Amino acid sequence: MKKKNLAVLGLIALSAAGGPGAPAAATFRVEQERFPRVRTARTQAQPRLEALFRQAGLSYPPGEIFLRVFKLEGELELWARNGGPDPFVRVETYPVCASSGTVGPKRREGDLQVPEGFYHVSGFNPTSRFHLSLRVDYPNASDRILGDRRRPGGDIFIHGSCVTIGCVPLRDGPIEEVYLAAVDARDAGQARIPVHIFPCRLDGDWLKLERESWRRPGLMDFWRNLKEGHDRFEKDRRLPGVSVDRTGRYVFSEK
């Protein structure tokens, strides 16, 4: 990621936040729409996005969204809810159009792996080299314990342009829809947009992963830990609280 683009991420976050005694800041949506690609996406992608929300029985803009990725299936799901205690509803499933690495978590810089675990969106880049992009907060607390302490890697994005080295790429039309939904949820007050990344759908025949793990001790235990969080959401379509213990294991709780 070029320094210029990283600077844009910081500028947007600061200008949207404001500060004590500062003049009223523009909304996050207004800040984003200063960029041509976001304005174009409003024209090209928003009508279909609003139709998808109507079909799902949801109002637009969303109160909250949630993104879920399955690596083997090559799918990214957009979930949303109007707010409050309502369960999440799946709005759309988008194909992940390119891949690198294999199943299993990212553990070091340069391993070409897409991370696996429980993350959130940590930045919006409307001038990405890959059309539009949402930064994922890898490495998280678990990755910093279980991965390479000195060089865990970083710069993981959900982005357009259908190319990747360790990211989650979509085609430009789908990333415009996902990006707009994220912007509008952020504008509506959702400070943290969860992103859960799994090796595959952890139901049915998920134990097929066992043949992928024989060369990597501990991998099945890691996936079983991910399955705990996966199954909590599947139970009632509500997101669990997620924390990390001193061993790097995810711990789940009711929100």
Task: Give per-10-residue mean pLDDT for the chain (255 aa).
Answer: 41 40 71 98 97 98 97 97 93 95 93 96 97 98 96 96 92 98 97 97 82 74 96 97 98 92
What pLDDT does 214 receive?
64
Tell me, yes or no, whether 185 lies in a domain.
yes
What pLDDT does 1 receive?
41
What pLDDT does 206 receive?
80
The answer to whether the CB of 60 falls within 8 A of the CB of 45 is: no
What pLDDT does 208 receive?
76
**In terms of C-beta distances under 8 Å and separation of at least 24 residues, what long-range contacts does 22-30 make, across chains too?**
27/187, 28/183, 28/186, 28/187, 29/183, 29/184, 29/187
Number of domains composing the chain: 1
List, by residue number, the catalytic residues: 159, 167
Looking up residue 186, the CATH number of its domain turns out to be: 2.40.440.10
Phi, psi of 241 (to 5 degrees): -70, 145
Tally Cβ neighbours within 10 Å of residue 103. Answer: 19
Per the structure, the complete domain to which residue 108 belongs is given by 3-236
Tell me, yes or no, whether 44 lies in a domain.
yes
What pLDDT does 231 receive?
96
What pLDDT does 25 receive?
59
Tell me, yes or no, whether 251 lies in a domain.
no
Tell me, yes or no, whether 67 lies in a domain.
yes
Tell me, yes or no, whether 246 lies in a domain.
no
Tell me, yes or no, whether 171 lies in a domain.
yes
